[in-house]
A and B are shown apart, each in its own frame.
Chain A
Amino acid sequence: MDGRVLAIIERGYRGALEKQFFDELYLATELHRQLGGLDILLRGSAVGYAVDAGPVPAVRLGNRTVDTLTDPRAGLKTLLAAGVGVLVEEPDIATLGAARPLVEGVRLTAAGETAARWIDYRMVVFL
């Protein structure tokens, strides 16, 4: 199959306890493998994934410690290592106002810049 696929993620944080490893970034890894190349655009609340924050804390429930909550930064790093391009929309990350830097390898894109390039992709999907 020729051409890359653009996957847009606009809504982040969809259930860290029930999803754990099985989030949309895990799905993206498989789509990248099956569809022959993926770029990801983070918009909206999902731009928080790109902020290089510390490790995901564990949570105590009953007498059990759950240390397998969803870790979107680990997910992004796995995707980057696999050759997935990760873009984040600059206005949304600016609105977030995070003091921390972006995950290494994530690229900023201006508002509308990626939309203007949809024609270059074989397929555009929302994840």
Chain B
Amino acid sequence: MARQIPHTDVLITLMGAPHASDQVLTALRLTQSLLERGATVQVWTCGYATMLTQRGLGSDKPRNLADWNREYPSTAALVEELLTAWEGRLYWYGCRFCSDDRGAVDHLPQVVLRPPAGYAANVAAADKTLHLGVI
């Protein structure tokens, strides 16, 4: 049976790759702002954006040689923080094809990988869909 996608006010489709522009920061700030205003949100990642939630990233980035004891959170840790803080109001999906195609096979447990053909169901489950970036 096909997965039921919970209804949300907004679907943010993040197509843009990390480490290329500030789109990831924009997407996460927008997600936080919408949630703070009472909205429900789902995020769908495509392309290299699927790599944001890999468990292999750990909780922190590699150490900064110029500031050895400072901690810098990984993107996986920050997405997990969002999903924990906004449990039941934020959902995170990733394109399975894009993820597999990039060798990203081990994600946060809250991340739901979906087939590309299932994307329309996510769009249908949201009142408004926003696209950020290109694959």
Are the C-beta atoms of A15 and B72 separated by less than 8 Å? no
Chain A-chain B contacts (Cβ-Cβ < 8 Å), number? 72
Distance between Cα atoms of A70 and B25 in the complex (Å): 11
Q: A20-B61, A20-B72 are in contact. Are A14 and B21 (CB under 8 A)?
A: yes
Number of interface residues of B (CB under 8 A): 28
For A13, the closest partner residue in chain B by CB is B22
Are the C-beta atoms of A66 and B78 separated by less than 8 Å? yes
A1-56: which have CB < 8 Å to B?
A: 13-22, 26, 29
Residues of A within 8 A of B71 (CB): 68
Interface of A is mostly: mixed
Are the C-beta atoms of A13 and B21 separated by less than 8 Å? yes
Please choose the segment from A57-65, A103-111, A117-125 that sits at the chain B interface, where 4 or more of its residues have CB less than 8 A away. A57-65
Are the C-beta atoms of B75 and A18 separated by less than 8 Å? yes
Distance between Cα atoms of A68 and B62 in the complex (Å): 13
Answer whether residue A69 sits at the interface, using C-beta atoms and an 8 A cutoff: yes
Q: A22-B61, A66-B78 are in contact. Are A17 and B19 (CB under 8 A)?
A: no
Are the C-beta atoms of A15 and B82 separated by less than 8 Å? no
Distance between Cα atoms of A112 and B106 in the complex (Å): 48
Other than the given A15-B24, A17-B75, A22-B64, 4 more pairs (CB < 8 A) read: A14-B19, A15-B18, A15-B25, A16-B25
